[in-house]
Structure 1
Amino acid sequence: MVYVIKVGGSLYPEYIMDLYEVFRKSDEKIILINGGGELANKLREYNNKYNFTDDTNHWNAIMCMDIIGSQICDMCDDIIAVRSFDEIDEVHKNGKIPLILSYELLKKLDPLAHSWDVTSDSIACWIAHKLNAKLLILTNINGIYNGNIYSKNKRLIQDISPNELLFFDETCVDKCLPRLLLDYQVDCFILNGKYPDRIFRFLNNQFSENEFYTHIGGKLKW
C-alpha cells in the first residue's frame, strides 16, 4: 500500500519528531507533504488587510509549505526532500521517506484553482491521485464532526461520503477537498497527529473500528 500523508501545519514543530519515529517503523510506502502552518496563516492575515491577488496568495502559501518542508527534512535524517514524482522511487529504494516540496511541481503543471479554498489538503489529494495512493491527513483534531467542533454536543463522524461533506460549512479540511475526492476517486482518512500511537496502528494494520478517525469515501469495512 502507498500512502500520501499530509502533515498538518498545526503539528509543526512540536509533534514532528514523534511522527517521524512512526513513519520510520511503517510497513507501508509513505510519501509526505506538509502544511504551511503559521507562515501561511500570517499570509491570510496580511491578505485580510491588504487584499492581494489570488495568484499571489496561492503561490506564496505554497512557498510557505516548502519552507516548513525543508525544515522538517533538516530535523529528520531519513526524510528526503524531492521536487518531482520521478525522485520518489529512488528515495524509497534507499530506505528513506520522500517529502514533496511542491512549489516547482505545481508551478509547472498548475492543476488547482488559486483560492484560499485550496490548501495543502487539496494539494495532497492531487498528489495521491497522481500516484494512485490513499490519502492520510494528519491534523490536530480527531476528524470531521457533526456540528461545531467547539460544541459540547459535537459527534465525531467515522464514515462520510465526499458528497455529504460538500454541504458542511466548516471542517478541519479545506473546502475544495470533497470535490477533488469525488473527481479523483481518492480514499481519504483523517487522524489526529497529536497521538502518534494511533498513526502507528493505522499504518501497521492494527487499527479497528473503535478508533478515533474519519474516513471520507465509500463505507469502510474492517
Structure 2
Amino acid sequence: MRSFQQINQVFTMEWVVKIGGSLFPEHAAALLESLEGTGAAVVCGGGAFADMVRYHDRKFGFSDTANHEAAIMCMDITGRLISDLVESAVPVRTVTDCREAIKRGLTPVILPSGLLRYTDPAEHSWRVTSDSLSLMIAHMLKAKLLIATDVDGIYTERPPASDAKLINDISAKDLLSFGETSVDEALPELLIELKSDCYVVNGKYPSRVLSILRAGASECVCTVIRGD
C-alpha cells in the first residue's frame, strides 16, 4: 500500500462529500444522484450498521481495534448499497479507480476499508467516526471536505432545544468545548492538526450541497468549521 505522500503525488480533487449514515437510504441516494458531473468523490457514514456494532460493543466489550475496523467496514456497506441505487455512481476501492470514475463522468463512492487498512493514523475509539475518517481521506486527496448530515450544521444547543441557534462559522478550537455535536468529537482536533476547514450542511437539501461545491458557503444554510 502506498503512503499518503505517494498517493498525493498522483491525484488531487477539489471536494470529498461525506454522506452521513443518518441520510441512508432515500436521502443519501437523492444526494448522491445530484452530485453527477460535479467531480466530487463520496464517502458514506456507517449509519445503522455502525450503530449495531456500537450496541453490541456495550454488551460484549470488543477491542478498540475490532470496533474501529468493523465500523469502517460498515462504511463500505452503506457506500456499496447506495452506489447500487444511483446509475451515475460507482463504488471504488483505490485512488486510481476514483480518478478513472471521475474521468468517465461518474461519481466515485469510496469504500474505505482497503484504502485505510495501512494508512489509517486515527485513534481507535468511538471518538473517531466516519466524520474524522472522511477528513483523513479528503486530506489524502488534497480535497476540501463537506459533511452532509440530517441537520443544518452546528448549533449553540443540541436540537431540538427551542433556543438552539445555527452557527454559520466557528473555529475548531472553539468547537472543542462543545462536547457532542452533529460531528464526531475528534474532528475539531484533526482539523486543527491538518490546518483544514470543513463544511457541515443538511444533506436532505441537495441544492445546498451543490451551492457550496460551486460557490463556497456564502449565503448558504450551513456551518463552516475553521481549522486555523
TM-score over 0.5 for the pair: yes
- Residues 218 and 178 (structure 1), Cα distance of their counterparts in 2 relative to 1, 3 Å cut: closer
RMSD: 1.7
Asked if 1 retains the 8 angstrom alpha-carbon contact of 2:192 and 2:227, the reply is: no
Residue identity (%):
44
Query: Which of 182, 198, 203 is equivalent to 1:172?
Result: 182
Shift of 1:85: 1.8
Q: Is the 8 A contact 2:37 2:105 kept in 1?
A: no
**Structure 1: tracts of 5 or more residues without a match:** none
Task: Evaluate the alpha carbon distance shift between residue 104 and residue 206 of structure 1 in structure 2; reply closer, same or farther with a 3 A threshold.
Answer: closer
Asked whether the 8 Å contact 2:41–2:110 carries over to 1, the reply is: yes
**Aligned partner of residue 6 in structure 1, secondary structure:** strand
AA partner of residue 214 (structure 1): T
Deviation at 1:77, TM superposition (A): 1.9
Matched residue type, 1:122: S
**1:61-76 aligned within 5 A:** 61-76=71-86
Deviations 1:31-64 (A, max 9, x none): 1000001011111111111111101111111111
CA offset at residue 172 of structure 1? 0.4
Task: Return the alpha-carbon distance in structure 2 between the equivalents of residues 41 and 77 of structure 1.
Answer: 28
Q: What is residue 42 of structure 1 aligned with on the other side?
A: 52
In the TM superposition, what is the alpha-carbon distance from 1:147 to its structure 2 partner? 1.9
| Partner in structure 1 of residue 221 of structure 2 | 212
Choose the corresponding residue for 1:16, options 28, 50, 53.
Answer: 28
Q: Which residue of 2 aligns with 1:161?
A: 171
The residue type paired with residue 144 of structure 1 is I
SS at 1:59 equivalent: helix
CA contact (8 A) 1:22 1:199 kept: no
Q: Which moved more, 1:186-195 or 1:16-25?
A: 16-25
1:187 counterpart = 2:187: no
Superposed displacement of residue 205, structure 1: 2.4
| TM-score, length basis structure 1 | 0.92
Deviation at 1:24, TM superposition (A): 1.2
Output one character per residue of 1:173-193: Cα deviation in whole Å (capped at 9) or x when no partner.
001100111111222000001
The residue that corresponds to 1:114 in the other structure is 124
Contact 2:37 2:107 in 1 (8 A): no
Q: Which runs of 4+ in 1 moved over 3 A?
A: none
Asked whether the equivalents of residues 156 and 164 of structure 2 are also in contact (C-alpha less than 8 Å), the reply is yes
Q: How many angstroms apart in 2 are the aligned matches of 1:14 and 1:5?
A: 17
Equivalents in 2 of 1:54, 1:162: separation in Å? Answer: 25
The TM-score with structure 2 as length reference comes to: 0.89
2:188 is aligned with what amino acid? P
State the AA in 2 paired with 1:174. Answer: D
Shift of 1:218: 6.5
